[in-house]
Amino acid sequence: MHKTPNNQGAEAVVTNCIYFNTPAISKRRLPKRYRVHSLDSKLRLERTKIEARIMHRAKATGTNCPLVLSVDLERCELIETRLNGVKLVDYLQDKKNQKNAKRILADAGTQLAKLHLANISHGDSTTSNFMTDGKSVFIFDFGLSQFNATDEERAIDLLLFFKSVSELQFKYFIKGYAAQYGEKQTKQLISKIREIESRARYVER
């Protein structure tokens, strides 16, 4: 399997690769020297297993996301299908995409709603973790995702997206979200967002 450098995040090293003639990416959690070795090994192993399970459930329940092709628990490595397109943050900054942005943002909302309906919270749902080819939207990077999502965790996902776009862009996004998740349930999450922001303002005082 040939690999080419891609990027290194706080949690893992991501590289482009070819897996049995399929364009893919490798995501490998490297050891953290500042952690006790036994604890570090356990954490990396558990996070790798959880992320693989989450991606499998997300895919199975209709969320547009990468497909897990291989899991190597010894190396704490996932091989995933490589997505085509650009990150949503870059797509929205390109003026030539303005006419299509409304539909793309609504689709981003639909995809996050599908994830939430599968009882999964993303944990880092900014426009940097959505990708689009101009037709469809995909969610990726499930490194901070969790099963058994609470309404607070769903609301935090929405809040993270809200903070990464303009107010108008969020309106397009939340319209797509509500159409999938339910108007009443979405209103409850919006109320939860206000509660979270209120707590944050109180702490800042």
Instruction: Point out the residues that are catalytic.
Output: 124
Q: In this structure, what token pair is assigned to residue 201?
A: 């303002």
User: How many whole angstroms separate alpha carbon 29 and alpha carbon 22?
Assistant: 22
| Residue 134, amino acid | G
User: How many residues can be counted in the chain?
Assistant: 205
CA angle 171, 155, 108 (to 5 degrees): 45
Each as own residue / partner, the long-range contacts of residues 30-34 (CB below 8 Å, 24 or more positions apart, any chain) are 30/76
Helix, strand, coil in percent for the chain, rounding step 5:
50, 20, 30
